[in-house]
Amino acid sequence: MDAAMVLLVDVHAHLDLFKDDLDGVIARAKAAGVKVIIANGVDSQTNRVVLDLAKKYDIVKPALGIYPPDALQQEVDVGDYPIQLKPYDVDEELAFIEKSEPVALGEVGLDYKTGKDIAGQKELFQKFIDLSKKLDIPLIVHSRKAEQVVIDMLDASGAKKVVLHCFSGKKSLIKRAAGKGWSFSIPTNVVRSEHFQNMINMVHISQLLTETDAPLLSPFPGQRNEPAFVLESLKKIAELKGLTVEDAANAVFQNYQNLFL
Ligand SMILES: [Zn+2]
């Protein structure tokens, strides 16, 4: 397949976790047909890295956010998110995010698996839901072991522009979120996940997006994930929707444009 023929978008990557070889990662993404990578921040420090990368690389666009802080602390402690945390003021960061004109707010949400400060997480997530409505830009939402609460909060707030990233909720919640018109981003590990394959079958093509969560969630065991691999999500969408990869890619890219531009 000719990469020039496909329009690929990766709506959720952690480019801050790539170090020396990011030039190569971006070059491989372009060669694969990736036109847009939305880099997501998780705290004050990574938000600034995201903004720098968006200035440096033409296909990178910035999403700024605050991942549930207690969950992030835990992930940093066990080495799952290899950065050094630095303290910052959350409300100052929210003001910084607002004036930095991100294309989306992410990564934000709730994580009851790794985090324990439920009240604090909900208070922070609500601030992002409100900011998303004020700025009229999408939320890129993390919802681990808190899918129902996330849906309830978004619904109660009348949120419209929502991307449920790597959503692991049960079928009734997928149906409810789809009924609200929200979007689901299909991660590259869909190649071996019955759950995400079911999601593709259940959700209309107009509400599907693609993501890698790179360098996490690789489609290839033992290999670091990178935005070029987003093609794997598209191949699975094409297969299950009975479309050519080109047609599936064009549909997903159109969804990206409708929601983000
Ligand atoms: Zn992520």
Cis-peptide into 123, omega within 30 deg: no
Cα 52 to ligand 1 centroid, rounded to whole Å = 18
Residue 112 falls within a domain, yes or no?
A: yes
Cα 14 to ligand 1 centroid, rounded to whole Å = 6
Give the whole-angstrom CA distance, residue 58 versus residue 125: 30
Residue 201 falls within a domain, yes or no?
A: yes
Radius of gyration, CA atoms only, the chain: 17
Cα 245 to ligand 1 centroid, rounded to whole Å = 25
Cα 78 to ligand 1 centroid, rounded to whole Å = 16
Q: What is the bridge-based pairing of β-strands 8-13 and 60-64?
A: unpaired
pLDDT of residue 3: 59
Cα 38 to ligand 1 centroid, rounded to whole Å = 11
Whether the per-residue pLDDT at 148 is higher than 80: the answer is yes
pLDDT category of residue 125 using cuts at 50, 70 and 90: very high
In this predicted model, what pLDDT tens digit does every residue of 170-189 receive, in sequence order? 999 999 999 999 999 999 99
Cα 145 to ligand 1 centroid, rounded to whole Å = 15
Cα 107 to ligand 1 centroid, rounded to whole Å = 6
To the nearest whole percent, how much of the chain has pLDDT over 90?
Answer: 96
Cα 114 to ligand 1 centroid, rounded to whole Å = 14
C-beta atoms surrounding 71 within 10 Å: 24
Cα 212 to ligand 1 centroid, rounded to whole Å = 9
Cα 239 to ligand 1 centroid, rounded to whole Å = 25
CATH number at residue 240: 3.20.20.140
Cα 99 to ligand 1 centroid, rounded to whole Å = 23
Q: Which residue has the tokens 């909060």?
A: 153
User: Contact, 174 vs 203, CB < 8 A?
Assistant: yes
Q: Domain count of the chain?
A: 1
Residue 149 falls within a domain, yes or no?
A: yes
User: Contact, 35 vs 58, CB < 8 A?
Assistant: no
Cα 89 to ligand 1 centroid, rounded to whole Å = 22
Q: 172: domain range?
A: 10-260
What's the Cα-to-Cα distance from 92 to each of 66, 88, 109, rounded to whole Å?
A: 12, 8, 19
Residue 209 falls within a domain, yes or no?
A: yes
Cα 227 to ligand 1 centroid, rounded to whole Å = 13
Cα 209 to ligand 1 centroid, rounded to whole Å = 14
Spell out the residues 6+ positions from residue 28 whose beta carbon is closer than 8 angstroms to its own: 226, 227, 228
Cα 11 to ligand 1 centroid, rounded to whole Å = 10
Residue 109 falls within a domain, yes or no?
A: yes
DSSP states along 144-199 = ET-HHHHHHHHHHTT--SEEEET----HHHHHHHHHTT-EEEEEGGGGG-HHHHHH
In this predicted model, what pLDDT tens digit does every residue of 196-218 receive, in sequence order? 999 999 999 999 999 999 999 99
Cα 13 to ligand 1 centroid, rounded to whole Å = 6
pLDDT of residue 39: 98
Residue 3 falls within a domain, yes or no?
A: no
Spell out the residues 6+ positions from residue 81 whose beta carbon is closer than 8 angstroms to its own: 14, 17, 42, 72, 75
Residue 4 falls within a domain, yes or no?
A: no
Q: In 3D, which of 209, 87, 225, 199 has the Cα closest to residue 141?
A: 209
User: Contact, 105 vs 138, CB < 8 A?
Assistant: yes
Give the whole-angstrom CA distance, residue 228 versus residue 161: 26
In this predicted model, what pLDDT tens digit does every residue of 57-93 receive, in sequence order? 999 999 999 999 999 999 999 999 999 999 999 999 9
C-beta atoms surrounding 164 within 10 Å: 29
Residue 129 falls within a domain, yes or no?
A: yes
Cα 106 to ligand 1 centroid, rounded to whole Å = 8
